[in-house]
Structure 1
Amino acid sequence: MTKTIRISRALIGIALLTSCRNYEPKPLALDASERAFLVRTIDAPTLAQYSAQLGARASAANAFNAADGLSLDEAELIALVFNRQLRLARLEAGVTAATAENAGLWRDPRLGVDLSQIVDGVTGGVEAMVSLGLTLPLSGRLELEKQQAQAQHRAELVRVAQQEWTVVADLRRAWVRHASLAAEAQAAGDFLVRVAQVTAIVDRMESAGEIARIEARLFRIEDAKLRGQLQAIESDLTRTMHEIESLMGMPPRSDRNFDADFAFADALGREHHDALILRLSAASPSLAVARAEYKSSELRLAREMRAQWPDLEIAPGFGEQDGQRQGTLGIGVTLPIIDGNRRAIAEAEAAREVSRGRTEMELERLISALLGAEERLAAAARRRVLLETTLLPLVDTQYAEAREVARLGEVNTLVLLESLKQQLEAKQQLIAARRDESLAAIDIEEIAGPQTSMQKKEDAAP
């Protein structure tokens, strides 16, 4: 018996030494994180190394050079590297990766020791029997468990890709708003220059008594009003700049230069509706997430179904009884005749139906959202064309004729001021139309999903 106990102790010690891990604390270092964030730059080695792995995007951005003003392609690269939500999503994907890596393992063996003593016997010796219980996964449940964990990890990776596409779309929208405000600031600045030129003439005419002071004051009032509006625009311009920096995961800076315009959106969302529907079905990130989750729910149901069938449990043992050494073999099988894993199967079936419904409803939502975005794009494009072909030529002609009349000596200050205001308002309407058109195109791109390299080649072909 003593030898048997020694063997048991040795087995337990070996098992604990080879399989157990020790806890190691890892304190937070927020001070170091703060310093790293504040000194983060867009030409850091981390970005250069990561951008080399983004083949399609890196080639689209050509040679990365932030010194000449940050382009949208370069900003997208930076956001994919440093955006806070994306970095967190990738860390969270590590949880499912760890689950998938350690799923489907055999159950730990069970070491048992049976001690017995004959109470009314002549001798008071204690007899021991040592057994090692093993579960043989003959049902195939563990393989399905591993497949489900891998499917859950793939779904998490698809979810990360969806968040990357969402961040790109959010960055593009912020870029458009920044470009719109920059264009408004430029238009307001041009207006102030022209008002200043006319005001100088009006002041001379007022001094000469050719126009009343009340008329001359209108120009100074308009100048003061627009300067206040320009300050508000510049404040919004700074806000959108910091919004872009936040999406990029960069610290705020006042001297950052963005090469913002509307040109990038001219090629977005211009495909035929049927082509967009096909692209949506194949490439929509949110639909891909729903599909991946449905695949995981299918594997969950398959695993629960397989769990009905029992695994084989064996327990070989060794010990002494009545002074004789003995070997034993215990065999056990769970009979699925009462429980049969019915609850888990029913829950898995219901979860699969939920996942199926979520996928179908996501497709419906995407199609509806696509139709709405296409309508907004068409309406904004019609408005832009109307402004470019009708209103802008009219206000330009009006201002040119008012200046020509003034040059000939017949200055009508009210007509001249109104012509300037109409010209500014027409420019503001055109900027708003371009902004709305670009935002609708970005919405279409976000809904339809990223284009593959083959789709891009087909679109570029004549």
Structure 2
Amino acid sequence: MSPPASRLDAPRSLVVVLALLAPMAALAQAPLSAPEAQATPVSSLATDETLSKLLTEALEARPELRQVEAQEKAAQERVPQAGALPDPVLQVGIQNDGFGELMIGEMEGSYFSIMASQALPFPGKRDLRTQVARLGAKAVSAQVLRARLTIEAELRRAYLDLLMTRERRGLLDRLEAIWKQSADLARIRYETGDGAQSDLLRAQLELNRIRQRRVALNAEERTRVQTLNRLSGRPLDEPLPTTTRVRDLGIPELGEGEAAEKDAMERSPELAEGRANIAQSQQQMALARRERWPDFTVSAGVMPRGGDFPTMWQANVGVNLPIFSGSKQNRAVAESVAMADAATRATETVEQVLRLRVRERLTALSALRETATLYRSGLLMQSAATAESTLTQYRVGRASFASVLEANSGIVRDEEDFLSTLVEAQRLAIAQAEVSLEPVAALGGGSAGAGGMPGAGSAPSAPARGAALSGGAAGAAPSSASSSMSGM
């Protein structure tokens, strides 16, 4: 069957096809050229001016931090209260002979009385109570440090999510350009009788899917910006420009094993709070033992009798008798011993978990570093070379149109996985700075072909993500930096 009259003649169509294939090859190779893939990172989250400004504003505006600071102030105000003497007691009274009339000044046994008494704890109790309260305030101070570290980590992670979302949008732009070129190529080949109509329909379908994913990415970006503005106390819809690129962040350094552990032990708010709790429990144990000793009460008073009767006075010293110490004071000692042991065990648990988390992060970071090296040193360039080779084979009729499109889309998938590797490495550094006790997410396969995203704890499974990247089933909306660009 002869082609329709509207179709182009063969020589002209060949020129047009070659003209369209050249930009496709350029689009495939542009983001993955050897100099850029192997370039030394030129930026860092630590030097990002926008992030530094957001951190400053967050520490000034977050109500969560003001809340724990108020709790710390309340705990400090309890310190002088704990060591203060009990309030003295003032008594004013009258004693009268008979009920008929007031006999003060007429009867010897009738008088006014003014009495004052003061309770005096056994020596050492007040100091111990002050120490207990002071150590309690120290434990609350560790909670303030935890709040600061958590606020900074939350904001850094949210900023990293925004950077990754914008990187994904750039990758989507690159993929859209490839599909536009592919649609034009499919249309020309169909008109010249060299291609199938299904190729043209597939290209048009993928362009519409890209438009759909762009809507989702734009909504995600707005959400990321609103989250950052909330975390820093800004108006929710205030624009937030960024200049840092994820591809330039590189892999951070967390130090050597022993040094990293020592640093975490020194900075951990949970360990600081645990040590304060241990010291407080020990002081409470000493106080419970001291409570076995009796407290004293001193009192004095005067009794004016009026008339010619001389004024009387009295002074008293009282002492409480701990006759129920077997069921009271002794039990308090046993309780404080148990509480001190519990605080010690809890702190040991925190220390063990913290050591584990540091080692986990170091191990995961080492794997991510190797993965990033593989991407930079060969995988990205191999992906581009594969696309170029497939394109060459397609020119001579030895490869299908679907193979060309799959190879070109694979370039974008590989770069997204590479960027996700860098993001996960930055997340490990954020967790280390936060001295987090949260477990490290399991690393993915590190292969775009398998659909894995290195270090993405919340990423879909490999088959699900691979289907999403290939433009198949629609996935769930991305929720973090580890979410994939569905359908890319």
Query: TM-score per shorter chain, which class?
Result: 0.7 to 0.9
- 2:344 corresponds in structure 1 to 356
The alignment covers a number of residue pairs equal to: 384
Distance 1:77 1:393, change over 3 A: same
From 116, 124, 139, the counterpart of 1:155: 139
Mapped contact 1:265–1:442 kept (Cα < 8 A): no
Q: Normalising by structure 2, what TM-score?
A: 0.70
From 62, 66, 73, the counterpart of 2:52: 73
- Offset, 1:448: 7.2
Q: Check if 1:397 corresponds to 2:385.
A: yes
From 175, 195, 201, the counterpart of 1:191: 175
1:122-171: per-residue Cα shift (whole Å, max 9, x none)?
A: 99444232211022345132222222222211221121011111221222
Mapped contact 1:280–1:448 kept (Cα < 8 A): no
- 1:437 corresponds in structure 2 to 425
Q: Which amino acid aligns with 1:395?
A: S
* C-alpha separation in 1, matches of 2:101 and 2:286: 58
* C-alpha separation in 2, matches of 1:101 and 1:266: 52
Mapped contact 1:215–1:413 kept (Cα < 8 A): yes
- 1:288 corresponds in structure 2 to 272
Distance 1:264 1:440, change over 3 A: farther
- 2:335 corresponds in structure 1 to 347
- Offset, 1:330: 0.8
Q: Check if 1:414 corresponds to 2:402.
A: yes
- 2:69 corresponds in structure 1 to 90
Q: Check if 1:424 corresponds to 2:403.
A: no
From 131, 134, 146, the counterpart of 2:130: 146
Q: Which amino acid aligns with 1:155?
A: A
- 2:120 corresponds in structure 1 to 136
* C-alpha separation in 2, matches of 1:72 and 1:434: 18
List runs of 5+ in structure 2 lacking aligned partners. Answer: 1-44, 105-109, 438-488
Q: Check if 1:107 corresponds to 2:93.
A: no
- 2:290 corresponds in structure 1 to 306
Q: Which amino acid aligns with 1:112?
A: Q
Mapped contact 2:162–2:225 kept (Cα < 8 A): yes
- 1:30 corresponds in structure 2 to none
Q: Root-mean-square deviation (CA), in Å?
A: 3.1
Identity %: 20
Q: Which amino acid aligns with 1:376?
A: A
SS at match of 1:102: helix
SS at match of 1:414: helix
- 1:224 corresponds in structure 2 to 208
SS at match of 2:237: coil
- 1:454 corresponds in structure 2 to none
Distance 1:123 1:380, change over 3 A: closer
Distance 1:262 1:332, change over 3 A: farther
Single out whichever of 426-435 and 377-386 deviates more from structure 2.
377-386
From 327, 348, 353, the counterpart of 1:365: 353
* C-alpha separation in 1, matches of 2:426 and 2:117: 67
1:204-233: per-residue Cα shift (whole Å, max 9, x none)?
A: 343344423222222222222222223222
Distance 1:101 1:197, change over 3 A: farther
Mapped contact 1:114–1:129 kept (Cα < 8 A): yes
Mapped contact 1:162–1:289 kept (Cα < 8 A): no
Q: Check if 1:328 corresponds to 2:328.
A: no
Mapped contact 1:70–1:258 kept (Cα < 8 A): no
Distance 1:116 1:271, change over 3 A: same
Q: Check if 1:273 corresponds to 2:257.
A: yes
How do 1:192-271 and structure 2 match up within 5 A? 192-262=176-246, 266=250, 268-271=252-255
Distance 1:131 1:269, change over 3 A: farther
* C-alpha separation in 2, matches of 1:421 and 1:301: 68
Q: Which has the higher helix share?
A: 1
